[in-house]
Amino acid sequence: MTFKHSLKTALSGLRSNRSRSALTILGIVIGITAIMLVLSLGAGAQNLILDQVQGMGAKTIVVIPGRQPSGPSDFANVFLDSLKERDLRSLQSKLHVPYAEDIMPIVFGTVRTAYKNETYQVTVLGGGNKEKDSVMEEMFDVHPERGSFFTAADVQSKAPTAVIGDKVREHLFGDIDPLGKKMRIKDKTFQITGVLGRKGQVSFFNFDDMVLVPYTTAQQYLLGRKYFDRIIVSADSEEHIEKVVSDIKGVIRANHDITDPEKDDFFVETQADLAERLKTITTALTLFLSGVAGISLFVGGVGIMNIMLVSVTERTREIGLRKAVGATNKDILTQFLFEAVILTLFGGIIGTVLGSSLSFVISFAIQKFALMTWGFSFPYLGAMLGLFVSAIVGLVFGLYPARRASQLNPIDALRHE
C-alpha cells in the first residue's frame, strides 16, 4: 500500500468516527493551548518588566543597603540601615566619584493620607537634592501635569510640600482641584504644589499611587529614620558606568571600614544588571509553567492510546476484512499510526490557534482595563515546538494500539461480534 493510500484510509477512518476523534484530541488541544498562553503571556510580562526597569534610563545606578542575596539564607543577613548621610556626602564629592552627574537618596514607606473626611493608604516616596532642582523629575522622568515639583530649598528646609499621583488625587479630591490645597500625611499638614498626570509604573514605583515629598521631610516627619532606602546615581555617560560603579564601591567600603568585598553591607546594581537578572527569572518561571502545562500533553497522549485501543476493538471486523482482501500487518500498522499522528497534529493546530487568540484577547484586555503597556507576543518557537511534540505524542502513544491492530488474526477478526 502506498503512502498516499494509507493516508487516505486513515482520514476516511477518522471521518467515519467524528465524535470519537474530537474527544480524542481534546487533551492535546488543552495542553497546547495552555503552553501557548504561558509562553505568550510570559513574553508579554517579561517585556513589561524590562521596560519598567529600563524606564529610569541606562545610565542609572542604584546603591542598595544590605548584602546582595544569592540564596534564601542571605535574606537574614541584611543591613537595611547601612546607607547614611556620610555616604551620601562622600558620593556627592567630585573627587570621589568624578563621573557622577546626579545623586539622589530616596526613602519610602506606606502612610495614610487624608483630606477632610476622605482617607487613602499610599506609598510616600522621599527624594530630591539639596543643591539642585528637578533631580527627581529627571531621574524618574515624572513631571507635574499641574503645578511644580519641590525645590532644592524645600529639601534643605524640610518643607512640608507634596506632589501627588493621579490615583491619590482621584481618591482624596475627586473633582476638586487639589493644587494649593492642604492634606494630612500621618499627623502633619502638607501643601500640594504639584499633581502628576497618569504615569503608571516606573522601575517598580507606581507613581499614580504615590505622594512625593523631599527626602529630608520624609525622614524627619513621616518615616522617623536617618538612613536611606536607596541612593540613586546617574552617570554622565554610558561609557563611564563601570567606572562610577567601581568608585561607588570604593567610597562606601572606605566609609564602612570594609576591606573584604565578601563582607559588603551594600550592593550596587545598574539597570542592565537588573534587567538581565529579571529576564533570567522570568524565563525560568515561564519554562517551569510551560513544563507544568506540558503534563496535560502526556495526559492527552494516554487518552489517545486508550481511545485508539477502544477503536481497535470496535473495528476488529473491519481490520479482519481488510486483511482478508490483502492488507498486510504493515498496512494496518501504518493506517492506525497515521490516524494517531493526524489526530494529535490537528489538535496541536487547534491548540496553537486557540492559545494565540486567547493570549491576544487577554493582552488587549490588560492594555484596555489595567492601562498597562502589555504587548501581544506570538511565540513562534513555542508554536513549532508544540506541533512537533504533538506529532511525537501521536506517534509514541499510537504505536501500541496500531501494533495491536496489525497483529490481529484475520479469521478471528472476521468472527468477532
9 and 138, same domain (yes or no) = no
- List of residues 6+ apart from 280 with CB closer than 8 A: none
Cell of 231: 541612593
8 and 103, same domain (yes or no) = no
Decide if 245 is inside a domain: no
What does the alpha-carbon distance between residue 297 and residue 311 come to, in Å, rounded to a whole number? Answer: 20
- Mean pLDDT of residues grouped by 10 in the chain (417 residues)? 59 65 76 82 71 62 81 53 92 92 93 93 94 87 91 95 94 92 94 88 77 96 93 87 91 92 88 67 73 72 74 69 74 77 84 87 78 72 77 78 72 55
Decide if 301 is inside a domain: yes
DSSP 346: H
Q: In degrees rounded to 5, what are phi and psi of residue 121? A: -85, 125
Query: Long-range contacts made by residues 311-318, C-beta under 8 angstroms, separation at least 24?
Result: 311/17, 311/20, 311/339, 311/401, 312/336, 312/401, 312/404, 312/405, 312/408, 315/13, 315/405, 316/408, 316/413, 316/416, 317/413, 317/414, 317/416
Decide if 249 is inside a domain: no
Confirm if 79 and 63 have CB atoms less than 8 A apart: no
38 and 118, same domain (yes or no) = no
Cell of 326: 490483502
What does the alpha-carbon distance between residue 206 and residue 48 come to, in Å, rounded to a whole number? Answer: 13
Confirm if 136 and 167 have CB atoms less than 8 A apart: no
Q: Which of 295, 222, 282 minimizes the C-alpha distance to 45?
A: 282
One DSSP character per residue, 163-227 reads EE-HHHHHHHHTTS--TT-EEEETTEEEEEEEEE-S--EETTEEGGGEEEEEHHHIIIIII--SS
Instruction: Give the count of domains, the chain.
Output: 2
SS3 (DSSP) at 23: helix
Decide if 46 is inside a domain: yes
Query: Where does residue 11 rank: exposed (0-12), middle (13-18), buried (19+ CB within 10 A)?
Result: middle
8 and 101, same domain (yes or no) = no
Decide if 167 is inside a domain: yes
What does the alpha-carbon distance between residue 218 and residue 225 come to, in Å, rounded to a whole number? Answer: 9
pLDDT of residue 339: 76
150 and 101, same domain (yes or no) = yes
Decide if 134 is inside a domain: yes
202 and 291, same domain (yes or no) = no
pLDDT of residue 139: 84
Confirm if 275 and 54 have CB atoms less than 8 A apart: yes
Cell of 167: 490615583
Using the 3D structure, point to which of 171, 203, 235 is the last residue of a domain: 235
pLDDT of residue 314: 66
222 and 158, same domain (yes or no) = yes
pLDDT of residue 56: 55
Neighbours of 404 (CB within 10 A): 17
Q: In degrees rounded to 5, what are phi and psi of residue 206? A: -95, 100
Cell of 54: 529600563
Q: Flag whether the pTM goes above 0.85.
A: no
Q: C-alpha distances in angstroms, 280 versus 75, 290, 294, 334? A: 20, 15, 21, 44
SS3 (DSSP) at 126: strand
SS3 (DSSP) at 161: strand
Q: Which residues form the domain of 176?
A: 97-235
Neighbours of 15 (CB within 10 A): 9
Beta bridge partners of 115: 118
As a 3-state breakdown, the chain gives helix, strand, coil percent values, each rounded to 5, of 60, 20, 25
One DSSP character per residue, 292-332 reads HHHHHHHHHHHHHHHHHHHHHHHTHHHHHHHHHTT--HHHH
Decide if 240 is inside a domain: no
224 and 283, same domain (yes or no) = no
286 and 216, same domain (yes or no) = no
Q: C-alpha distances in angstroms, 109 versus 170, 223, 290, 376? A: 21, 7, 36, 34
Residue with cell 492535546: 28
Decide if 262 is inside a domain: no
One DSSP character per residue, 31-58 reads HHHHHHHHHHHHHHHHHHHHHHHGGG-T
221 and 102, same domain (yes or no) = yes
Cα–Cα–Cα angle for 332, 337, 341, nearest 5°? Answer: 155
What does the alpha-carbon distance between residue 81 and residue 62 come to, in Å, rounded to a whole number? Answer: 15
231 and 333, same domain (yes or no) = no
What does the alpha-carbon distance between residue 359 and residue 37 come to, in Å, rounded to a whole number? Answer: 6
285 and 227, same domain (yes or no) = no
